[in-house]
Amino acid sequence: MELLNHQGQEINAETFADDIKNIHFPDGGYKSVALASDMDNTMFDNDLGTLVFLEKMDDPKFWHLDTDDFRQLLLPKAYRKLLTEGADRHVDGLPPPVCKLALDLAYDIVNLYEKIQANVKAKRANGEGKLSEEFARKMIELDRIFVLIDGVLSKNLNGQILMRTRFFAGKNPSAITNLAQKVMHRHPTNIGRRVALNIHPENSGYADQIVTEDRISQVHGVVSPFQEIDRYVKPVNAVRELIQTAVQKLRIPAVVATGNLKAIAKTAIAESEYDFLLKQKYVREGEHSAVVGTWLRPGENGTLHPRVQGKPVLWDHKAEQALNFAHASRRELKIALGDSPSTDGPMLRASVANGGVAVVVGKDIDSLRKRFEKVFPPEQRYREKVYYVVENK
Domain ranges of the chain: 2-45+234-390, 48-230
Asked if residues 347 and 36 have their Cβ atoms less than 8 Å apart, the reply is yes
Residue 72: the pLDDT is 92
Q: Using 50, 70 and 90 to split pLDDT, how confident is the model at 191?
A: confident
Q: Which residues pair with 36 in a beta bridge?
A: 255, 336
Q: Using 50, 70 and 90 to split pLDDT, how confident is the model at 160?
A: low
pLDDT in tens, 53-76: 888 877 766 777 899 999 998 999
* pLDDT top residue among 335 and 310: 335
Q: Using 50, 70 and 90 to split pLDDT, how confident is the model at 125?
A: low
Average pLDDT on 268-278 reads 97
Supply the CATH classification number for the domain 2-45+234-390: 3.40.50.1000
pLDDT in tens, 317-340: 999 999 999 999 999 999 999 999
**Phi, psi dihedral angles at 126 (to 5 degrees):** -75, 90
pTM of the model: 0.91
